[in-house]
Amino acid sequence: MKTAFITGITGQDGSYLAEHLLTQGYRVVGMMRRTATPSTERIEGILDQVEIAHGDLLDQSSLMRLLEEYQPDEIYNLAAQSFVHASFHEPIHTAEVTAVGVSRLLEAMRLVVPGARYYQASSSEMFGKVSETPQKESTPFHPRSPYGVSKVYAHWATVNYRESYDLFCCSGILFNHESPRRGIEFVTRKITAGVAAIVFGKQEGIPLGNLDARRDWGFAGDYVEAMHLMLQQDEPKDFVVATGETHSVRDFCRIAFSRVGLDYEDFVSVDPKFYRPAEVDLLLGDPSLARENLGWTPRTSFEELVHLMVDSDLAHHKDLGLQVQKGSLPESLLTTT
Ligand code: NAP
Ligand code: F7E
């Protein structure tokens, strides 16, 4: 039985990856940092099947100790300060965790378990002010936020450990991927949670920032499979993971509101406080290499993604016994008890 060590297991991707690896027969060890209130909501359903290990990307000794103790075959580094907007307010913390944290973990791997395989969660935010469209593995980086800058550092640190020490290290350059488990401050979940709150009379409208930003949005459950496939190859290599489609924030709003029979223009307002000092206007990935080398393709369409997120947030309100105040529930939710 192979052992996988996941940092960031309490996050969106960590929870889906842990579930996927359990179905593949892995022993799953998830690293969690200490928090005053429990942060295990996303992994409640699998807590009895995974082993939780306490450590922090800010603490070198904890990483060394855990790798020594668990001797993982595969290391998935998903932990990060991952919210771009917050990275402008906390640039130093973001760099410590999202950039230097990667050097800490790679160094721990080199010294303790050099035979392990390492996955780094790289990001399309590294392309930033894009120099070509669609973006592929060879597209130059031009990050536009402290988060993007940190991810470029982490990406090159991973390449460097592969080239310097012949370690099996690779990066997935993942474009935006979402799910009902997406953090509430990211735009997709902010919209779908807002739609549900409006339908059930808990909120009047949704203030947003740049409605014209375009992203290549996929489903997180599909994307974690690509992470695992990357570590099963003969050679370590970096891959773009994306859908190959781009949509605006406005498109997302339109589909989300029409799911409940409402017009987004009646509820969405623009508040400049959600603008960023520098914006990434357009992201569109070319996942050809992942399709050809890994046999990976996304299974969830953009519309299906929006619907599954809206439906999940609606179901949550319905389960609380609240009554519909505006719009209507989709057919599938009318029949469920
Ligand atoms: P997420 O939901 O924000 O999860 C981040 C995880 O990192 C959480 O488990 C968090 O723990 C943990 N963490 C934060 N600081 C830590 C520290 N100092 N030490 C240890 N753990 C720490 O992010 P996600 O959406 O799952 O994304 C997973 C990874 O992929 C991240 O590296 C992100 O930057 C990258 N990425 C995401 C996307 C996307 O669209 N989702 C796209 C490209 C790349 P707490 O629960 O304690 O906060
Ligand atoms: O913003 C615009 C915002 O915060 C998407 C992270 O997972 O994906 C994510 O980063 C777009 C931006 O995600 C609001 O300006 C408008 O153009 O959902 P987001 P992100 O910044 O793309 C990448 C790939 C990662 O790696 C990151 O970890 O939507 N937008 N109005 C808004 N964004 C937010 N959050 N809130 C708004 O009100």
User: Which ligand 2 atom is the nearest neighbour of the CA of 175?
Assistant: 24
**For the segment 178-196, what is each residue's pLDDT rounded down to a tens digit?**
999 999 999 999 999 999 9
Residue 18 and residue 61 in contact, taking contact as beta carbons nearer than 8 Å? no
Strand, coil or helix: 337: coil
CA–centroid distance, 186 to ligand 2, in Å, is 5
13 ligand 1 Cβ < 6 A:
yes
pLDDT band at 336 (very low <50, low <70, confident <90, very high): low
Q: What is the pLDDT of residue 71?
A: 98
- Could you tell me which residues come within 8 angstroms of residue 140 by beta carbon, excluding any fewer than 6 positions away? 131
**For the segment 17-49, what is each residue's pLDDT rounded down to a tens digit?**
999 999 999 999 999 999 999 899 999 999 999
Cα within 13 Å of Cα(207), Cβ side:
5
Q: What is the pLDDT of residue 334?
A: 87
11 ligand 1 Cβ < 6 A:
yes
Q: What is the pLDDT of residue 310?
A: 98
Helix (H) or strand (E) holding 65: helix 60-70
Residue 4 and residue 73 in contact, taking contact as beta carbons nearer than 8 Å? yes
The amino acid at residue 114 is P
Q: What is the pLDDT of residue 201?
A: 97
**Integer CA distances (angstroms), 55 to 52, 81, 216, in order:** 10, 15, 33
Taking the CA atoms of 282, 288, 290 and 291 in sequence, report the sign of the dihedral they define.
positive
Average pLDDT over residues 189-211: 98
Best of 174, 215, 240, 279 for a ligand 2 pocket test (most atoms within 8 Å of beta carbon):
215
Q: Which residues are known catalytic residues?
A: 123, 125, 147
pLDDT at 65 > cutoff 90: yes
Kindly write down the DSSP assignment for every residue of 12-60, as one continuous string.
HHHHHHHHHHHHTT-EEEEEE---SS---GGGGGGTTTSEEEE--TT-H
CA–centroid distance, 87 to ligand 1, in Å, is 13
User: Which ligand 2 atom is the nearest neighbour of the CA of 82?
Assistant: 28
The amino acid at residue 270 is V
Q: What is the pLDDT of residue 337?
A: 52
DSSP state of 278: S
Distance between CA atoms of 175 and 217, rounded to whole angstroms? 7
User: Which ligand 2 atom is the nearest neighbour of the CA of 271?
Assistant: 38
**Ligand 2 binding residues, C-beta < 6 A:** 82, 84-85, 123-125, 175-176, 185-188, 190, 208-210, 213, 215, 249, 274, 276, 279-280
Q: What is the pLDDT of residue 335?
A: 75
Closest CA to 48 of 23, 68, 66, 28: 28
Looking at the chain, how many residues does it have?
A: 337
172 ligand 1 Cβ < 6 A:
no
Residue 39 and residue 11 in contact, taking contact as beta carbons nearer than 8 Å? no
Q: What are phi and psi of 75, to 5 degrees?
A: -120, 125
Q: What is the pLDDT of residue 55?
A: 98
CA–centroid distance, 148 to ligand 2, in Å, is 12
Q: What is the pLDDT of residue 29?
A: 99
Average pLDDT over residues 309-326: 96
CB atoms within 10 A of CB 244: 17
pTM attached to this predicted model: 0.98
**Ligand nearest the Cα atom of residue 223:** 1
- Could you tell me which residues come within 8 angstroms of residue 277 by beta carbon, excluding any fewer than 6 positions away? 88
Ligand 1: residue whose CA is nearest its atom 1: 11
Q: What is the pLDDT of residue 99?
A: 99
pLDDT at 114 > cutoff 70: yes
Q: Which domains does the chain have, with CATH numbers?
A: 3-178+217-241 (3.40.50.720)
Strand, coil or helix: 104: helix
Helix (H) or strand (E) holding 270: strand 268-270
CA–centroid distance, 187 to ligand 2, in Å, is 6
Q: What are phi and psi of 167, to 5 degrees?
A: -85, 155
User: Which ligand 2 atom is the nearest neighbour of the CA of 124?
Assistant: 24
Rounded to 10 deg, the angle between the 249-258 and 302-319 helix axes is 50
Average pLDDT over residues 330-335: 89
**Ligand nearest the Cα atom of residue 124:** 2
The amino acid at residue 136 is K
Helix (H) or strand (E) holding 311: helix 302-319
**Ligand nearest the Cα atom of residue 119:** 1
Strand, coil or helix: 194: helix
**For the segment 230-285, what is each residue's pLDDT rounded down to a tens digit?**
999 999 999 999 999 999 999 999 999 999 999 999 999 999 999 999 999 999 99
Mean residue pLDDT across the chain: 97
pLDDT at 217 > cutoff 70: yes
